[in-house]
Amino acid sequence: MAKSIGTVDILVDSCKGCELCIPVCPPKVLVMSKAVNAIGFRYPELRDGCTGCELCAEICPDYCFEVFRGRAAEAGEVSA
Amino acid sequence: MANELQKVFTRSPLLGTDTHSLCPGCGEPTAIRVLMENVEEMEERENAICVLGIGCYTAFASLMEVDCQQAMHGRAPAQATGVKRVLPDRLVFTLQGDGDMVTEGIQEIIHAAARGEKITAICLNNATFGETGGHMTATSVVGQKSKSTLDGRDPDVHGHPIRLPEMLRDLDGVAYVARGTVHTPVGAKKTKKLLRAALETQRRGLGFSLVEILTMCPTGWFVPTADGPRFQEENILPVFGVGELKRPAEL
Amino acid sequence: MTNPTRAFLEGGHALAEAAIQAGCRFYCGYPMTPSTEVLEYMARRMPEVGGVCVNVEAELEGINMVWGATGAGVRSMIASTTNGMALMQESLSEMVVGRIPAVIVNMGRGQGDYFMCTRGGGHGSNRCIVLAPWTAQEAVGTAYRAFYLAEKWRHPVMIFGDFILSHTSETVTFGAPADATGPLPEKDWATDGARGRAPRLLTSLGMKIPEAPDGTPLPDGQTRTDVTAPMRMAVRRHEAIAAEEVRVESEGLDDAELVVTAFGVPARFARYAAKLAREDGMKIGFVRPYTLVPFPEGRFREVAARGVPIAVFENNAGQMVQDVRLAVEGRTPVHFIGGISMDSSGFGVGPEIDALHILQRLREVYAARSAA
């Protein structure tokens, strides 16, 4: 079974820093920034290991996440 | 194909592109998101008419890419009745809060339900008046502190919370009633399915449908945003059970 | 039943039939004497024309159903009485700001609702257009005119009658009056589903306002939220309506040494009293405001400019008399000769709705006119 891999685009300037996305992320790859966005809130930043599970997008009240998902290369398969 | 990433989640085009002004950690935008995703997936954009009550969510009338009417506080079920009776083939739904539907407008919602109006009423229940900054509503739970119940809601003084879906369930005109919660991703997904069933009930002309959605209001609960889900589980969910209360056999 | 062209009907029934012939297809009402007859007639007649009649559970619900149906683009009406009207006031006020062109009928108990009807009753600085027919025939014309004016200005219109108008049978002829025909603006605001067009928002809250506070359009696609914008736009609309829509009837003003004024059915008694007074040698003129909003201030100013005193007869404790006094601004004496006059049920004809009684009051005022 191929492993699900993914990533998210985070619309940083829409974020109001509620942190609801942080604990719901299964691989725990979202961490709050030190910097603040244009409206003064800290925002989530993505670390390696996103699976594209969409849970952050499901809980985000500010529609900050766009989620992308695919399957990791099988053993022996050559990735581009 | 391996490593080709597909976009699997994006903001519904029915939610426009502007940012909204609701507070950090609010549950209402999530409830409205799953509602509008349903309207989009049911291909009802050109058929939908939303009647909004008065609360924080009213601001979403500027974002929602469907026809909208704004109603007076509590009166959306009557106004939606007027719309549906003259345009019976449209998909008509209300968007109201607990303050709007349960506190101020309980007569309108009960009579609309009893008449079996073929509309879908949606109650965003956060157990507080969020827009005024956290005052008691008819659904505030016993012990809940608010700016008008400083030591917590005391039943001897302030009465008991109203479980509106349970009240309406036994009316003959009511076809579908459910309660969902959007304080977790799974809850949001399930709530989307409840809303779909309610809208489908209306589309098939089976009768009145209502979904109450428990939404977090950390501002009105006076807790940090990250504590919203915990507050919901410890205080709100024990009083307001989640799930379908009535479902038509035809669905 | 086909549309009648001529019929002998109670005023309430005649008004209901005219509303249907004017295209009203949604009606709701809560039974209350003397507006019940409108509901009864609509309950039988609406299904015949493919319309909807709802026996609503409260006036509060009724007015908001009418808001919804009108907002969906369908001509809609509600009738009620006095206390029921009071229950509607929040929505009525907001329907002016939100530009909901519904027709609202108040078959009042007496005329004690003048303030409620003309001041907007509810919150804000808002006024409906208010029309006060005095015969069943004029009630018929008023029904057509009300829908016409409502859509012309995109503004709610109220018809203010009373138990005598509602319950008195008279012969009426149906058909739109000349001033209630002609092209109307397209309903480019109706929320009937965004089919092949951009979504619409019908609101009284100033969301998505497409113009700046000074009225200039915002650049392409830009909208703003300004709660006061629709209020200020309503004020501009009030002024435009006042400039264009005043309707008033008067007789015998040229040589009048006293003018009696009244509105609605009591004006028929006042007019007859003025006629009897003329036979007695008293030079009494007569003014009947048909539009209570906009109020025919100009006609009263003309009377006042000649120093002619005015007697106001109305079936209440003295309400329109205030508008007459405001109009003349102290330039001539204004006497109140009316009073609350109903039978003990609260909705029948009382002893002061009588031309001889009015004549006696006119004699007193007439005799005192030079002393003043």
Q: Distance between CA C26 and CA C19 in Å, rounded?
A: 10
Instruction: Kindly state whether C162 is in contact with chain B, defined as any CB-CB distance less than 8 angstroms.
Output: no
Judging contacts by C-beta atoms under 8 Å, the chain B residues touching residue C199 are 64-68
Q: Distance between CA B158 and CA C64 in Å, rounded?
A: 29
Give the model's confidence band at C1: pLDDT under 50 very low, under 70 low, under 90 confident, else very high: confident
Tokens of A77: 């398969």
ipTM reported for the complex, 2 dp: 0.96
Interface test with A, best of B1, B6, B7, B8 (most A CBs within 10 A): B8
Cis upstream peptide for B248 (omega within 30°): no
Q: Domain A10-68 class?
A: alpha beta
For the residues of chain A, what is the DSSP string, one character each? -PPEEEEEEE-GGG-----THHHH-TT--EEE-SS--TTS---EEE-S------HHHHH-TT--EEEEEEEPPPTTPPP-
Instruction: Kindly state whether A77 is in contact with chain B, defined as any CB-CB distance less than 8 angstroms.
Output: yes
Strand (E) positions, B35-157? 48-52, 67-70, 91-97, 120-125
The shortest CB-CB distance from A54 to any of B4, B9, B30 is to: B9
Task: Give CA C131 to chain center in angstroms.
Answer: 3
pLDDT digits (tens, 9 = 90+) for B165-199: 999 999 999 999 999 999 999 999 999 999 999 99
- The one-letter code for the residue type at C215 is G
Measuring CA to CA, how many Å separate C191 from each of B59, B83, C41?
17, 9, 29
Asked if the Cβ–Cβ distance from B70 to C66 is below 8 Å, we say no
Query: Within 13 A of B19's CA, how many CA atoms are on the CB side?
Result: 15
Domain boundaries, chain B: 21-246
Task: Give me the helix-helix angle, C11-21 and C136-153, nearest 10°.
Answer: 40
Q: B175 to chain C nearest CA, in Å?
A: 21
Measuring CA to CA, how many Å separate C210 from each of B69, B229, C185, C206?
17, 39, 18, 10
Place of tokens 């925002």: A43
For the residues of C176-223, what is the DSSP string, one character each? --GGG-S-----TT--S--TTS---EE-SS-TTB-B-TTSPBPSTT--
Q: Distance between CA C262 and CA C256 in Å, rounded?
A: 16
Average pLDDT for residues C76-104, to the nearest whole number?
97
Judged by average pLDDT, the poorest of A36-40, B128-132, C224-228, C249-253 is C224-228
The pLDDT, as a whole number, for residue A80 is 45
**Which of 2.20.25.90, 3.40.50.2300, 3.30.9.10, 3.40.50.970 would CATH assign to domain B21-246?**
3.40.50.970
Residue A76 has pLDDT above 60, yes or no: no
Average pLDDT for residues C278-288, to the nearest whole number?
97
The pLDDT, as a whole number, for residue B154 is 98
Q: Distance between CA B36 and CA C178 in Å, rounded?
A: 47
Asked if the Cβ–Cβ distance from A70 to B2 is below 8 Å, we say yes
CB B156 within 8 A of CB B246: no
- Nearest one of C115, C121, C56 to C95, comparing CA atoms: C121
Judging contacts by C-beta atoms under 8 Å, the chain A residues touching residue B233 are none
Pairing of strands B120-125, C258-261: unpaired
pLDDT digits (tens, 9 = 90+) for C45-73: 999 999 999 999 999 999 999 999 999 99
pLDDT digits (tens, 9 = 90+) for C307-342: 999 999 999 999 999 999 999 999 999 999 999 999
pLDDT digits (tens, 9 = 90+) for B27-49: 999 999 999 999 999 999 999 99
Domains of chain C: 6-175 (3.40.50.970), 248-367 (3.40.50.920)
Asked if the Cβ–Cβ distance from A79 to B3 is below 8 Å, we say yes
Mean pLDDT of chain B: 97
- Nearest one of C219, C237, C221, C220 to C229, comparing CA atoms: C237
Q: Distance between CA C176 and CA C24 in Å, rounded?
A: 13
Tokens of C5: 């062209």
- Nearest one of C149, C215, C157, C211 to C179, comparing CA atoms: C149
B111 → chain C, closest CA residue:
C57
Considering only residues 106 to 125 of chain B, which have any Cβ-Cβ distance to chain C shorter than 8 Å? 107-108, 111
Evaluated on CA atoms C127, C133, C138, C139, the torsion sign reads: positive
Q: Distance between CA A45 and CA A53 in Å, rounded?
A: 16
CB B244 within 8 A of CB B193: no
Measuring CA to CA, how many Å separate C13 from each of C36, C108, C169?
10, 15, 9
The shortest CB-CB distance from B70 to any of C66, C74, C205 is to: C205
Give the model's confidence band at B1: pLDDT under 50 very low, under 70 low, under 90 confident, else very high: very low
